[in-house]
Amino acid sequence: MKIHEKYITRCIEIAKNGLGTTAPNPMVGSVIVYKEQIIGEGFTSAYGGPHAEVNAIASVADKTLLHKATLYVTLEPCSHFGKTPPCSDLIIKHGIPHVVIGTMDSHSKVSGKGIDKLKAAGCKVTLGVMEAACKEHHKRFFTFHSKKRPYIILKWAETQDGFIAPKTRKEQKPVWITNPYSRQLVHKWRAEEQAILVGTKTVLEDNPGLTVRDWTGKHPVRVVLDRALKLPKHFQIFNNEAETLIISEKEIDFSNQVAKQLADYLHQKDIQSIIVEGGRETLQTFINENLWDEARVFIGNTSFKQGVKAPHISGKIISETIIDTDVLKIHTNEN
């Protein structure tokens, strides 16, 4: 089993090359091993492109080795026709005798059907290798299909004395709490998720672009709460750099369970993951309704003495990282 874990670990590593590009498909990684040597590997292409198993098989120089090799994959191979043909059919076609799978696919179109098809063709299937790690890796995909909502990440920065914004500001632009390294990390995160959400007040006060300026990658869909459609069209969120989704009273009822309605609406839009970067009111709405999976909280090396208090959150702190003068705490929701 230890040798299997080694190769599934590699699958997870290479799968991350697809961060932010594969949704609504899962971000899968696959390696092919012959006599304890990796002879092929692949990860899921951008949505509409080949899946990880297809790319791994294509990368094998000597295809005659496939009928004696083992294919490792983080998630059960698909068995249905979508944008691409079933991966299980391709594995069978090439006569790969052994498939090692991290975890089953919870999607109703797959969920055991890929495994059944492989077994029916005489393929040996080993299931559940590093299952917890693979489920964690596929958390966006699993949350979307099991909870019928996006994977929700809350993010904010607060001062040493617990404020998220100053009492007053002189200009219509952000008042930075964190250092440039932390801000660059936030742009990396934006490139990894499908969407980013802010409220009306954040747009009016900061005029943010909400794009990936300090990193490479795809811009997230900008989701903006604008209840009365009062935001001026000259603001950056209306430029052509990225898609913008405005949510007003036409889409949801702002008087009750706003976070729940937003989660339902975004699920209908096929958005699998979102970073909530709004102000205190927007963030606290998600916290109060217990609709969040992670909270990424920066504590900057500055103080405001007075201002807007940071949101109050509970949950398990799973990591605490020093980034130059800042501290980053990652909370997870265990409820």
The single-letter code of the amino acid at 204 is: L
- The answer to whether 56 and 90 are in contact (CB under 8 A) is no
Provide the pairing of β-strand 163-166 with 151-158: unpaired
SS3 letters for the chain?
A: CHHHHHHHHHHHHHHHHHCCCCCCCCCCEEEEEECCEEEEEEECCCCCCCCHHHHHHHCCCCHHHHHHCEEEEEECCCCCCCCCCCHHHHHHHCCCCEEEEEECCCCCCCCCHHHHHHHHCCCEEEECCCHHHHHHHCHHHHHHHHCCCCEEEEEEEECCCCEEEECCCCCCCCCCCCCHHHHHHHHHHHHHCCEEEECHHHHHHHCCCCCCCCCCCCCCEEEEECCCCCCCCCCHHHCCCCCEEEECCCCCCCCCCHHHHHHHHHHHCCCCEEEECCCHHHHHHHHHCCCCCEEEEEECCCCCCCEEECCCCCCEEEEEEEECCEEEEEEECCC
Please pick, among 53, 76, 158, 193, the residue that the annotation labels catalytic: 53
- The CA distance from 283 to 312, in Å, is 9
Sign of CA dihedral 133, 137, 140, 146: negative
Is 36 annotated as catalytic? no
Residues serving a catalytic function are: 53
